Amino acid sequence: QKEVEQNSGPLSVPEGAIASLNCTYSDRGSQSFFWYRQYSGKSPELIMSIYSNGDKEDGRFTAQLNKASQYVSLLIRDSQPSDSATYLCAAEYGNKLVFGAGTILRVKS
Amino acid sequence: SAVISQKPSRDICQRGTSLTIQCQVDSQVTMMFWYRQQPGQSLTLIATANQGSEATYESGFVIDKFPISRPNLTFSTLTVSNLSPEDSSIYLCSVDSTGSGNTIYFGEGSWLTVV
């Protein structure tokens, strides 16, 4: 059974702080990982993908992958109220995505 | 990224009826997928829509309940048959725009309420 685990939250951070979202996956066979943001009433929006161990940065977002620990994280620097959403972690298995349950992030101004 | 259009965006249907959802992509893509997101839940893959052949269904999903068509590389439909209130969900079309499983985008979704 291929699973992706996330803490459902909510994770509350003050405006300007760093939000840290975490995800673990069960199957070492996955090579690609994705972070999606989903606002209430909207479809998921791809934020970042990561395939190699280490960090990948894109603006205020940094994805981190540790394949030995089967761990993926997303850091959001200088968090803004507009970042308040559900963040979905997904692992790719053979061209299919398995999603975690999502972490609710609330950024308080 | 691919532009993915879904219709209808929302619908309210009577139990026992069927709803067909359309997904149109602005470019040819190899892989098209249909997901379901039940209220308060994450996304679950229903099936992979294969061009020119039958869809590949995930465990727990069957063709009689979720028939899928994929007549060409830019279009697919998902039908949800014999609707019950438990089918009230968001149905999402997604595409792998690179063909390598590395870049997967979603349509706007179709919000279905069954009464």
Q: How far is B19 from chain A (nearest CA, A)?
A: 19
CB contact under 8 A, A49 and B102: yes
Start-to-end CA span in chain B (Å) = 36
Contacts of A33 in chain B (CB under 8 A): none
Instruction: Tell whether B60 is within 8 A of chain A (Cβ).
Output: no
Q: Which residues contact A55 (CB under 8 A, 6 or more apart)?
A: A62, A63, A64
Dihedral angle computed from the Cα positions of residues A55, A58, A63 and A68, in that order, rounded to the nearest 10 degrees: -30
Q: Which of A32, A96, A101 is opposite residue B102, by nearest beta carbon? A: A32
Closest Cα in chain B to A33: B102
Say what the pLDDT of residue B98 is.
67
pLDDT (tens, 9 = 90+) of chain B, 115 residues, equals: 788 999 999 999 999 999 999 999 999 988 899 999 998 888 999 999 988 888 999 999 999 999 999 999 999 999 999 999 999 999 999 998 766 656 788 999 999 999 9
Q: How many CB pairs under 8 A join A and B?
A: 52
Closest Cα in chain A to B48: A96
Instruction: Tell whether B91 is within 8 A of chain A (Cβ).
Output: no
Could you report the per-residue pLDDT of A68-102, keeping only the tens digit for each?
999 999 999 999 999 999 999 999 887 788 999 99
Is A108's pLDDT higher than 60?
yes
Dihedral angle computed from the Cα positions of residues B46, B6, A100 and A39, in that order, rounded to the nearest 10 degrees: -160
Q: In which band, very low, low, confident or very high, does the pLDDT at A31 lie, cut at 50, 70 and 90?
A: confident
Describe chain B by its helix, strand, coil percentages, rounded to 5.
5, 50, 45
Q: In which band, very low, low, confident or very high, does the pLDDT at A13 lie, cut at 50, 70 and 90?
A: very high
Dihedral angle computed from the Cα positions of residues B69, B70, B75 and B81, in that order, rounded to the nearest 10 degrees: 20
Instruction: Tell whether A49 is within 8 A of chain B (Cβ).
Output: yes
Instruction: Tell whether A48 is within 8 A of chain B (Cβ).
Output: no
Task: Enter the tokens of residue A62.
Answer: 């940094």
Closest Cα in chain B to A4: B42
